[in-house]
Amino acid sequence: MELKSTMQGVECQKSGVKTGDHLTEQVTADTRLREAEAALQATKEWAQVTLNSIGDAVVTTDLECRVTYLNRVAETLTGWLSSEVIGMPLMEVFSLIDVQTLKAAANPAQRAMEENRTVGLAMGCLLIRRDGSQLEIEDSAAPIHGHDGKTKGAVIVFHDASQSPTQSTKLAYQAQHDALTKLPNRVLFSERLTRAIGLAKRHQHQVALLYLDLDAFKSINDSLGHGIGDLLLQSVAVRLSECTRDTDTICRQGGDEFVVLLSEIDKPEDAARIAEKILTALSAPYRLSNHELHISASIGVSVYPDHGSVDHTLLYNADMAMYHAKKNGRNNYQLFRHDMNALNVQASHIESQLQLALKAETLFLDFQPRIDIATGNLVCAEALVRWRNPTLGLMQPSAFLPVAEAVPIGHWVLLETCRQLQAWREEGVEIVPIAVNISAIELRDKTLPARISDILAQTGIEAHFLEIEITENSLMHHHTEASISTLIELGERGIRIAIDDFGTGSANLKHLKCFPIHTFNIAPCFVHDMLESLESASFIKALINFGQNLALRVIAKGVETQAQLDFLKLQGCDVAQGFLLSKPLSATGFCQLLRLGRPKRQLPKGVLRQAAGSPLIPRVKTLGSR
Ligand code: C2E
Ligand code: MG
């Protein structure tokens, strides 16, 4: 303000007439002018010093967006000297790329002048420096107004964003969160868990950890691609968040594993309730890019202080419990028990022994006959795997199959069954179809149909001599697209499919129509109860009825008494299996039974009830024909 009035005074004096008095006035005016110029210079220098002292880069332009000034920081960041670029078009000196679009960013000075306001640079703008290197910068541009209020140019103020606080906040976020799901990662989770344990100690409450692993994730990822896999993980993360409170923490441990920290619970049952809620929430169908997907999870739960007082023990024990949930058939949760550690050691020991068993030929098959109830004929059998363990002795499947996931036992059983059928045939015995149990994991293997075809071709056995059995539970919990397409392909290759232990799972008959099924095996518990329980009897009647309507075969398993067999016969059940008729037999024992199979029996076509001939098993002789 002072500078301006001084300058106005100088102009007035300059136009005056030079007289004596005037001379004095002239001297005074010259002095004032020099003073004013000095003041102006001082102001300019002060402005320069100020602009060069601040940490931000400053670039000014005129109305045509030509550079009028660069401060020191701008010189350093752009790589240009102010003296070199005065008058040059701004975008030659200050060329920007938007990292989102990877295209040239709009000229900020131009925008500020056009919009007559301060404008911010787009987030993540890269400045192309004189040497071609790139620098992430942030900040804003504003129009410069003269005294008359008119726009005279623009000023851009910017700084190196790679070290800015916003960037470091971003980096801190990235270091603590999972990029895909935006959930906390292990680092942040560990901090929160330690804090939750500390608070629980002080306030005498409990903390629970839920270690969750998706059951069929790998097959979805493999069959539908990582894009769908990623979408699924994101959806799972959302559902998990919906099941928990804001004060709880959900973390993606990596892959398809998540951990949920319930930071304040009163009793382990609270954690169990949340685990159940999560299982239900995750089991609802996912609609992702035209696919309807189903997935389940196995959850292990550990609770502070009962199952550990430090974070890594709690996490380890929850993981261990999760492993047991997997072994327990998946889609369930298990609360950690201290004996799980010992069981786990035993399980891994069994698994490695089983690997050897495949080579050492200590696995073998028994065959349990199945009888046509109407005729008493032997119509088929079930192959049941056994293991002569070198140290533990003869082991039944329930003792080793749950821990044999990593051992290809299923393939061995299929091959051995077909090899055995062929061996019997070569001995001149008329063979019958054999049912082989297939685990849910094997069913999800897309190579199964082709492998079975190879085995059939290799052994010379026709497809209708093989029936695969899959339990109702496995089918319902794992009816992923992969499993369904495997079943369809097996059916197309002429292999018969049976639902084992029907009635124990969650399937309803309507649902089952989606699957290419030939046989229902009624679970032994219904057969066992049917004479005492009206409910079991009604269930069996309904199922037999359903089977007859759809021309499906119904097999009653676990038949132990004559009364049970009589009841089943009365209801029109097709086939029976159980200790009453025969225990599982060795291959030699079963072969002897086959040898009795004269006169020639009809091979099964559709419903086996049509098989003719005299009864083969003495105890069944009493049955007679329907
Ligand atoms: P499953 O498919 O229901 O097989 C029938 C089981 O019931 C057999 O037990 C058999 O010995 C038993 N059983 C037969 N008749 C009677 C009876 O009248 N009363 C009673 N209480 N039990 C009877 P096992 O051999 O111990 O097999 C148990 C389960 O192990 C099988 O149940 C099947 O799900 C599974 N399994 C057996 N072999 C294989 C195999 O090779 N692969 C797969 N994935 N699973 C198999
Ligand atoms: Mg079975």
pLDDT tens-digit map of 162-208: 766 666 667 777 788 888 988 998 888 998 999 999 999 988 899 99
Please identify, by atom number, the ligand 1 atom nearest to the C-alpha of residue 438.
44
Q: Which atom of ligand 1 is nearest to the CA of 523?
A: 3
The type of residue at 365 is L
Look at residue 60 and tell me whether its pLDDT is greater than 60. yes
- Which residue has better confidence, 353 or 213? 213
Distance from the alpha carbon of residue 234 to the mean position of ligand 1, in angstroms: 40
The pLDDT of residue 616: 39
Question: What value does the mean pLDDT take over residues 313-317?
Answer: 89
Quick one: pLDDT band at residue 408, thresholds 50, 70, 90? Answer: confident
Q: Is the pLDDT reported for residue 345 higher than 70?
A: no
Q: If pLDDT is split at 50, 70 and 90, which confidence band does 28 have?
A: confident
Give the number of the atom of ligand 1 that is nearest the alpha carbon of residue 560: 18
Residue located nearest, by CA, to atom 38 of ligand 1: 384
What pLDDT score does 601 carry? Answer: 38
Q: How many angstroms separate the CA atoms of 68 and 59, rounded?
A: 8
197-to-209, 262, 299, 301 alpha-carbon distances in Å: 11, 11, 21, 15
CA dist 513 and 501 (Å) reads: 17
Q: Which of 189-193, 325-329, 372-376, 542-546 has the lowest mean pLDDT?
A: 325-329
The protein residue with its alpha carbon nearest to ligand 1, atom 8, reads: 384
Q: What is the pLDDT of residue 12?
A: 38
Distance CA 121, CA 105 (A): 9
162: CB partners within 8 A, 6+ apart:
135, 136
Contact 233, 296 (CB under 8 A): no
Beta bridge partners of 369: 381
Whose C-alpha lies nearest to ligand 1, atom 15? 578
Handedness of CA 118, 119, 121, 122 (dihedral sign): positive
In the prediction, which pLDDT does 603 show? 34
Tokens representing 227? 């894009």
d(CA 384, ligand 1 centre) in Å: 6
**Is the model more confident about 350 or about 262?**
262
**Cα(294) to centroid(ligand 1), Å:** 28
Starting from the CA of residue 394, give the closest ligand: 1
pLDDT of 554 over the 90 cut: yes
Statement: residue 470 has pLDDT above 80: yes
Q: Is pLDDT of 623 > 60?
A: no
Pocket of ligand 1 (CB under 6 A): 368, 382, 384-385, 396-398, 401, 410, 413, 437-439, 469, 500-501, 524, 557-560, 577-579, 584
The answer to whether residues 172 and 165 touch, using CB atoms and an 8 Å cutoff, is no
User: How confident is the model over 488-500, as a mean pLDDT?
Assistant: 92
Which protein residue's CA is at the shortest distance from atom 42 of ligand 1? 437
Which residues lie closer than 8 Å to 192 by C-beta, 6 or more apart? Answer: 184, 249, 261, 263
> Which atom of ligand 1 is nearest to 365's Cα?
41
pLDDT at 4: 40
Per the prediction, the chain carries an average pLDDT of: 83
User: Which of these ranges, 120-134, 147-161, 247-261, 545-559, has the smallest mean pLDDT?
Assistant: 120-134
For the ranges 249-263, 287-301, 464-478, the lowest mean pLDDT is seen at: 464-478
Statement: residue 3 has pLDDT above 70: no
Q: If you measure from the C-alpha of residue 469 to the centroid of ligand 2, how many angstroms do you get, rounded to a whole number?
A: 6
pLDDT of residue 507: 60
Q: How far is the CA of 30 from the centre of ligand 2 (A)?
A: 115
Distance CA 223, CA 232 (A): 13
Q: How far is the CA of 290 from the centre of ligand 1 (A)?
A: 40
**How far does the centroid of ligand 2 lie from the alpha carbon of residue 380, in Å?**
13
% residues pLDDT > 90 (the chain): 45
Ligand 1, atom 4, residue with closest C-alpha: 384
C-alpha angle with apex 48: 45 to 50, nearest 5 degrees?
110
In which band, very low, low, confident or very high, does the pLDDT at 454 lie, cut at 50, 70 and 90?
very high
pLDDT at 80: 93
Residue located nearest, by CA, to atom 30 of ligand 1: 397
Q: 615 C-alpha to center of ligand 1: Å?
A: 24
Ligand 1 center to 464 CA (angstroms): 22
CA of 587 to the centre of ligand 1 (A): 16
* CA of 435, closest atom in ligand 1: 2
For the CA of 501, the closest atom of ligand 1 is: 3
* Residue with CA nearest ligand 1 atom 7: 558
pLDDT of residue 124: 64
Q: Which atom of ligand 1 is nearest to the CA of 584?
A: 11
Q: Give the Å distance between the CA of 470 and the centre of ligand 2.
A: 7
- Strands (E) across 490-608 are located at 496-502, 519-522, 553-557, 575-577
**What is the reported pLDDT for 625?**
29
Q: What is the pLDDT of residue 556?
A: 96
Task: Report which of residues 607 and 613 the model is more confident about.
Answer: 613
Of the bound ligands, which one is closest to the alpha carbon of residue 522? 1
pTM of the predicted model as reported, rounded to 2 decimal places: 0.52
Mean pLDDT of 247-253: 90
Token digits of residue 509: 């008959």
Considering every ligand atom shown, identify the ligand nearest to the alpha carbon of residue 576 and give its number. 1
Q: How confident is the model at residue 102 (pLDDT cuts 50, 70, 90)?
A: low
- Bridge-based pairing of strands 496-502 and 291-293 is unpaired
> Of the bound ligands, which one is closest to the alpha carbon of residue 473?
1
Hey, whose CA ends up nearest to atom 46 of ligand 1?
437
Mutate to test the pocket of ligand 1, among 437, 521, 590 (most ligand atoms within 8 A of CB): 437
User: Which of 354, 368, 384 has the most ligand 1 atoms within 8 A of CB, as the residue to mutate?
Assistant: 384
Average pLDDT, integer, range 75-87: 92
Q: Express the helix, strand and coil content of the chain in percent, nearest 5 each.
A: 50, 25, 30
Instruction: Look at 169-173, 263-267, 367-371 and tell me which has the smallest mean pLDDT.
Output: 169-173
Q: How much distance in Å is there from the Cα of 599 to the middle of ligand 1?
A: 30
Calculate how far, in angstroms, residue 351's C-alpha sits from the geometric centre of ligand 2.
22
pLDDT at 406 over 80: no
- pLDDT tens digits, 509-535: 666 666 788 999 998 999 999 999 888
- Scanning the structure block, which residue is given the tokens 């499947």? 397
Q: What is the pLDDT of residues 598-612, one digit of tens each?
A: 433 333 332 222 233
Nearest CA to ligand 1 atom 37: 384
